[in-house]
């Protein structure tokens, strides 16, 4: 079993839709959670970062963490064609843990938003 | 400014060549990372430098040799690579690798490497 599971999709939605992207994890040492967006042939771009359970909002993006269920989500409201990319969840642990100093990534979800 | 730059953008090399990839950041970050990414896969960590010292080597073959000349620069020296080493090589940096909340990593655009 992978430490982080992410549905690779692909996911195709119409413009304006609400998109929900999800990851589950098994390592309870993970304390810090990130979402990256990666356009084709580019490096990953940090979208959201959170370290507590609950919601964090930034514009059209909301990151949600449920540590009790080991489940994180990224919601994109009013999706745009420019949101078409691969979305990667990533996690890291606290100092002293086995995941110290490392990011563990999900497989990435390919999202297409069509006009 | 959250920019990490990488050169070259593209590199084609033969299996007997020696080449280097370069990475630079001016955010005052003290941790820098090399990743390898194959198509449709997430990045795989190769090396971590913390305060200019190698802190993590993920059992990477010795044909990859990292170097951190100073806190802003990171190199990856390549020698006698194999065709299966063809990939996107990503550099990232973070404020610190010791304090988890400062560990948010910012990635460069990558160097696309093709080994013939």
Q: What is the mean pLDDT of each run of 10 residues along chain A (115 residues)?
A: 86 97 92 93 91 89 95 97 97 62 89 96
Measured in whole angstroms, the distance separating CA B98 from the mean position of its chain's CA atoms is 19
Per-residue burial over A7-46, b = 16 or more CB atoms within 10 Å of its CB, e = otherwise: eeeebebeeebebebbbbbeeeebbbbbbbbbeeebbbbb
Pairing of the two strands A11-14 and A109-114? parallel
Q: What average pLDDT does this structure show over B37-52?
A: 93
CA atoms within 13 A on the CB side of B110: 22
For the purposes of burial, counting CB atoms within 10 Å of the CB of A97, is it exposed (0-12), middle (13-18) or buried (19 or more)? middle
Shortest CA distance from B87: residue in chain A: A41
Is A41 within 8 Å of B101 when comparing Cβ atoms? no
Q: How far apart are CA A45 and CA B14, in angstroms?
A: 31
Nearest C-alpha of chain B: how many angstroms from A30?
10
Residue B102 has pLDDT above 80, yes or no: no
Does residue B109 contact residue B9 with C-beta atoms inside 8 Å?
yes
Average pLDDT over every residue of B24-29: 92
- Is residue B38 less than 8 Å (CB to CB) from chain A? no
Query: Quick check: B46 contacting A, CB < 8 Å?
Result: no
Residue B103: which pLDDT band, with cuts at 50, 70 and 90? confident
B86 interface with A at CB cutoff 8 Å: no
Planar angle of CA B32, A51, A46, nearest 5 degrees: 45
Least confident of A23-27, A51-55, B6-10, B57-61: A51-55
Looking at residue A52, what is its pLDDT? 77
Residue B73 CB-density burial (10 A; 0-12 exposed, 13-18 middle, 19+ buried) = middle
Q: What value does the mean pLDDT take over residues B29-50? A: 93
Average pLDDT over residues B42-47: 94
Q: Which residues contact B65 (CB under 8 A, 6 or more apart)?
A: B76, B77, B78, B79
Q: Kindly report the nearest CA distance between residue B15 and chain A, in angstroms.
A: 24
A42 shares contact with chain B (CB less than 8 Å): yes
pLDDT of residue B56: 86
Range in A97-111, B19-33, B72-86 the model is least confident about: A97-111
A21 interaction partners in chain B (CB closer than 8 Å): none
| pLDDT at position B32 over 70 | yes
- Backbone φ and ψ for B85, nearest 5 degrees, come out as -80, -5
């Amino acid at each position: 079993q992978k430490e982080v599971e992410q549905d690779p999709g692909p996911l195709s939605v119409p413009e304006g839709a609400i998109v929900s992207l999800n990851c589950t994890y098994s390592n309870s040492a993970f304390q810090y959670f990130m979402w990256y967006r990666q356009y084709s042939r580019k490096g990953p771009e940090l979208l959201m970062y959170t370290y507590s359970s609950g919601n964090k909002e930034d514009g059209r993006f909301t990151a949600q963490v449920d540590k009790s269920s080991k489940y994180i989500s990224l919601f994109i409201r009013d999706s745009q064609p420019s949101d078409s990319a691969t979305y990667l969840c990533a996690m890291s642990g606290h100092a002293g843990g086995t995941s110290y100093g490392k990011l563990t990534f999900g497989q990435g979800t390919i999202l297409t938003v069509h006009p | 400014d959250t920019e990490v730059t990488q050169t070259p953008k593209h590199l084609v090399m033969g299996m007997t060549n020696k080449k280097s990839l370069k990475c630079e950041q001016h955010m005052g970050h003290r941790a820098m990372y090399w990743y390898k990414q194959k198509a449709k896969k997430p990045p795989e960590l190769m090396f971590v430098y913390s305060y200019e010292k190698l802190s993590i080597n993920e059992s990477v073959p010795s044909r990859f040799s990292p170097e951190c000349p100073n806190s802003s620069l990171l190199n990856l020296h390549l020698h006698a690579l194999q065709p299966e080493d063809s990939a996107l090589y990503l550099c990232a940096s973070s404020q610190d690798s010791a304090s988890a909340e400062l560990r948010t990593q910012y990635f460069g655009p990558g160097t696309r490497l093709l080994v013939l």
